[in-house]
Amino acid sequence: MPQTRRRNEILRALLAEARWTQAALARSVNALAAEIDLDLTYDRTAVSHWLSGTQPAPPVPELIAEALTRRLGRSVSPSAAGLGRAPSGPPGGRLPDHVLPAESALTDLCSMERDPARRVSARLQPYRESDLAGAQAQPRSWTTRPAVRRAENEDELAVVRLAVRFYAASFNAHGGRRARSTLATYLADDVVPRLRETTDQDTHRGLLVETSRLTFLLARMYQDAAVHGLAQRHFHTALRLAAESADATAWAVVLRGLSAQGLALGHRRMALQAAEAAASTAVAPDGGTRAFLLSQLAVAQAACGLRHAALTSLGTAERAAESGARSGGAPGPFHTYAPSALEFQSAEVLRHLGDLPAAQAAMLHSLARRSGDDHRGLALSHARHAEILVGLGHVEEACTAWSSFLDQYVHVRSGAADLAVSRLRQLLAPFRPLPAVTAILHRTSALTSVYPRP
For residues 403 and 436, the answer to whether their CB atoms sit within 8 Å is: no
Contacts of 451 (CB under 8 A, 6+ apart): 409, 410
In 3D space, the residue among 113, 130, 132 whose CA is nearest the CA of residue 121 turns out to be: 113
Which amino acid, one-letter code, is at 60?
Answer: V
Q: Read off the pLDDT of residues 116-160 as tens digits, 9 standing for 90 and up.
A: 777 788 888 899 998 998 887 777 655 445 445 555 567 889 999
User: Of the ranges 9-18, 131-140, 218-227, which one carries the lowest mean pLDDT score?
Assistant: 131-140
Has residue 54 got a pLDDT over 70?
Answer: yes
Structure confidence at residue 397 (pLDDT)? 98
Mean pLDDT of 358-369: 98
Mean pLDDT of 154-167: 91
Give me the long-range contacts of 90-96 (CB less than 8 A, separation at least 24).
Answer: 91/58, 91/62, 91/121, 92/58, 92/59, 92/62, 92/118, 92/121, 92/122, 92/124, 92/125, 93/118, 93/121, 93/122, 93/125, 94/122, 94/125
Has residue 3 got a pLDDT over 70?
Answer: no
Mean pLDDT of 11-39: 92
For residues 279 and 252, the answer to whether their CB atoms sit within 8 Å is: yes
Has residue 338 got a pLDDT over 90?
Answer: yes
> In this prediction, what percent of the chain has a pLDDT beyond 70?
90
Structure confidence at residue 50 (pLDDT)? 94
Structure confidence at residue 283 (pLDDT)? 66
Cα–Cα distance for residue pair 397/385, rounded to 1 Å: 10
DSSP per residue, 335-372 = T---HHHHHHHHHHHHHHTT-HHHHHHHHHHHHHH--T
Structure confidence at residue 282 (pLDDT)? 67
Cα–Cα distance for residue pair 308/293, rounded to 1 Å: 18
Has residue 1 got a pLDDT over 50?
Answer: no
Q: Read off the pLDDT of residues 309-330 as tens digits, 9 standing for 90 and up.
A: 999 999 999 999 998 887 766 6
Mean pLDDT of 113-118: 78
For the chain, counts of helices (H) and of strands (E): 22, 0
pLDDT bin (cut points 50, 70, 90) of residue 86 is: very low
Has residue 452 got a pLDDT over 90?
Answer: no
Has residue 258 got a pLDDT over 90?
Answer: yes
Q: Which residue has the higher pLDDT, 88 or 208?
A: 208
For residues 327 and 291, the answer to whether their CB atoms sit within 8 Å is: no
Cα–Cα distance for residue pair 136/146, rounded to 1 Å: 23
Structure confidence at residue 48 (pLDDT)? 93
Structure confidence at residue 186 (pLDDT)? 95
Judged by DSSP in three states, 95 sits in coil
Neighbours of 335 (CB within 10 A): 16
Structure confidence at residue 354 (pLDDT)? 97
Mean pLDDT of 180-198: 93
Structure confidence at residue 281 (pLDDT)? 85
For residues 256 and 239, the answer to whether their CB atoms sit within 8 Å is: no
Mean pLDDT of 272-294: 88
Please state the length of the chain.
454
Cα–Cα distance for residue pair 126/90, rounded to 1 Å: 14
- Residue 288, exposed/middle/buried by CB under 10 A (0-12, 13-18, 19+)? buried
Q: Which residue has the higher pLDDT, 93 or 102?
A: 102
pLDDT bin (cut points 50, 70, 90) of residue 99 is: low
For residues 357 and 364, the answer to whether their CB atoms sit within 8 Å is: no
